[in-house]
């Protein structure tokens, strides 16, 4: 008899790689992963090239220089900084460090699609709580916290709806949730927000908060897999114990450090993308496409029954978006060319409607 995987994995979806056309450069616009449309800055590329010459060396088990730089920048002790191969890697550390089989993990839905997967891999029970008008319903989430709840995952701003929670509401929520419940605040898109709360401030105030951030989105380093978080020492130590040794590659570390040094230039890029996002939304709304305001680098089109058909039309035009069947389309803000193409296609679709 062959080895039998854990039964908990039966409900975990198996990722099947996409056909090459979806990945080919130039064939299409990749608007389905909320990537940055810009290649790394010249100063970051130069550092990547230099670091590539040492690719035959292992990186450090934990990237000490990056941890020190992040700690200094955030004003937190180095012991409280956690790193991982993307922030999604830190979720795996959370699953291993915190969750026991049978525990419950509460989160809003739709939200980051890793949430139920992380819970299930640990044998925990996912407890999704519907968004209210596209926003986290913190009161309903608090109601679903029971003695079995071990963690709450909050995505702020939320993927896929692009909405942020209200700061007072979140403080009230954090005060109401027992301190024994870990609250993971995923801030992958916070740099694009004008109103998102500051998870690092919340970690200072509430001992059960882990704030997760990433170099993948605003910093444009998704391909190098560098994520980080801050948590109080008892939690951060547990998360570090569960990290894959050398999980953050040496090139990623150098690129992340160079990006921190290039913050003013990167902030300009973020400001441009925010302006592009707002202009794209305005152009779509003008053409009758329902698009709520976004605090992120993507737009949410709650097209419900029309979503599948519209995503297919966009795809035929080389605009690859993320479809939530029967619910909506998530569309990353891209280059000027991609955004103009989106407007062109949707103008035709909605004029015909
Ligand atoms: C909410 C959220 N968190 C985390 C991630 C993953 O980021 P990383 O590249 O740091 O693993 C994503 C990626 O789309 C995301 O949307």
Asked if the model's pLDDT at residue 26 lies above 70, the reply is: no
- The reply to whether omega before 294 is within 30° of 0 (cis) is no
Confidence check: pLDDT of 25 > 70: no
Average pLDDT over residues 6-20: 87
Q: What is the pLDDT of residue 80?
A: 98
Rounded mean pLDDT, 308-315: 96
Ligand 1 site, residue 154, Cβ cutoff 6 A: no
Judged against a pLDDT cut of 80, whether residue 178 lies above it is answered with yes
Ramachandran bin of 34, using left for φ above 0, alpha for ψ from -120 to 50, beta for the remaining angles: left
The pLDDT of residue 24 is above 90 = no
Q: Which helix (H) or strand (E) holds 301?
A: strand 298-301
Asked if the domains 15-40+264-352 and 42-261 are classified in one and the same CATH topology, the answer is no
pLDDT at site 59: 97
How does pLDDT run across 56-68, given as a tens digit for each residue? 999 999 999 999 9
Residue 352 in this model has a pLDDT that exceeds 90? no
> Strand pairing of 209-214 and 125-130?
unpaired
CATH assignment, 15-40+264-352: 3.90.1150.10
Distance 131 CA to ligand 1 centre (A): 19
**112 C-beta closer than 6 A to ligand 1:** yes
Whether the pLDDT of residue 121 is over 80: the answer is: yes
Contact 81, 229 (CB under 8 A): yes
Ligand 1 pocket mutation, candidates 189, 214, 228, criterion most atoms within 8 A of CB: 214
233 within 8 A of 239, measured Cβ to Cβ: no
> pLDDT band at 21, cuts 50/70/90?
low
For domain 42-261, which CATH number applies: 1.10.10.60, 3.40.50.720, 3.40.640.10, 3.30.420.10?
Answer: 3.40.640.10
Q: Which residue did the predictor score with more confidence, 15 or 114?
A: 114
- With a 6 Å cutoff on the Cβ, whether 222 touches ligand 1 is yes
In the chain, where the domains are located? 15-40+264-352, 42-261
The structure tokens listed for 317 are 């035009």
For Cα atoms 87, 299, 163, give the angle at the middle one, nearest 5 degrees: 65
The torsion of the CA quartet 75, 191, 311, 352, rounded to 10 degrees, works out to 160
pLDDT confidence of residue 222: 98
For residue 170, pLDDT over 70 is answered with yes
184 Cα to the center of ligand 1, angstroms: 13
CA dihedral 300, 301, 307, 308 (to 10 degrees): -40
CB atoms within 10 A of CB 111: 22
Q: 210 CA distance to ligand 1 centroid (A)?
A: 15
Provide the pLDDT confidence category of residue 247 given band limits of 50, 70 and 90.
Answer: very high
Mean pLDDT estimate for the chain = 95
- In this prediction, residue 17 carries a pLDDT of 83
Percent of the chain with pLDDT over 90: 94
Q: Say if ligand 1 is within 6 A of residue 161 CB.
A: no
The residue with greater pLDDT, 352 or 85, is 85
What number of other Cβ atoms are within 10 A of residue 275's Cβ?
Answer: 11
> What mean pLDDT is predicted for residues 167-185?
97
Give me the mean pLDDT over the 21-44 stretch.
Answer: 83
Q: What distance separates the 2 farthest-apart alpha carbons in the chain?
A: 62
């Amino acid at each position: 008899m062959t080895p039998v995987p854990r039964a908990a994995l039966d409900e975990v979806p198996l990722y099947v790689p996409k056909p090459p056309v979806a990945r080919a450069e130039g064939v299409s616009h990749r608007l389905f992963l909320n990537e940055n449309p810009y290649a790394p800055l010249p100063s970051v590329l130069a550092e990547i090239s230099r670091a590539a010459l040492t690719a035959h060396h292992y990186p450090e088990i934990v990237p000490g220089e990056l941890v020190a730089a992040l700690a200094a920048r955030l004003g937190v002790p180095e012991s409280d900084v956690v790193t991982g191969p993307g922030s999604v890697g830190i979720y795996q550390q959370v699953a291993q460090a915190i969750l026991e089989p049978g525990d419950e993990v509460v989160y809003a839905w739709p939200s980051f699609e890793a949430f139920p997967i992380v819970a299930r891999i640990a044998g925990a029970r996912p407890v999704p709580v519907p968004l209210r008008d596209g926003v986290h319903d913190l009161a309903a989430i608090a109601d679903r916290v029971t003695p079995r709840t071990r963690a709450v995952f909050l995505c702020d701003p939320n993927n896929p709806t692009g909405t942020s929670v209200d700061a007072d509401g979140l403080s009230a929520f954090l005060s109401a949730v027992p301190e024994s419940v870990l609250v993971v605040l995923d801030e992958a898109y916070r740099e694009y927000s004008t109103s998102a709360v500051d998870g690092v401030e919340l970690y200072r105030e509430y001992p059960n908060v882990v704030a997760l951030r990433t170099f993948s989105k605003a910093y444009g380093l998704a391909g190098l897999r560098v994520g980080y978080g801050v948590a109080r020492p008892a939690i951060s130590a547990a998360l570090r114990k569960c990290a894959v040794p050398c999980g953050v590659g040496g090139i990623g570390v150098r690129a992340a450090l160079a990006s921190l040094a290039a913050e003013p230039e990167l902030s300009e890029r973020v400001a441009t993308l925010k302006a592009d996002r707002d202009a794209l939304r305005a152009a779509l709304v003008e053409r009758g496409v329902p698009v709520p305001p976004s605090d992120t680098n993507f737009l949410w089109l709650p097209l419900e029954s029309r979503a599948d058909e519209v995503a297919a039309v966009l795809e035929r035009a080389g605009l690859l978006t993320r479809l939530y069947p029967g619910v909506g389309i998530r569309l990353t803000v891209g280059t000027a060319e991609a955004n103009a193409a989106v407007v062109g296609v949707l103008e035709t679709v909605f004029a015909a409607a």
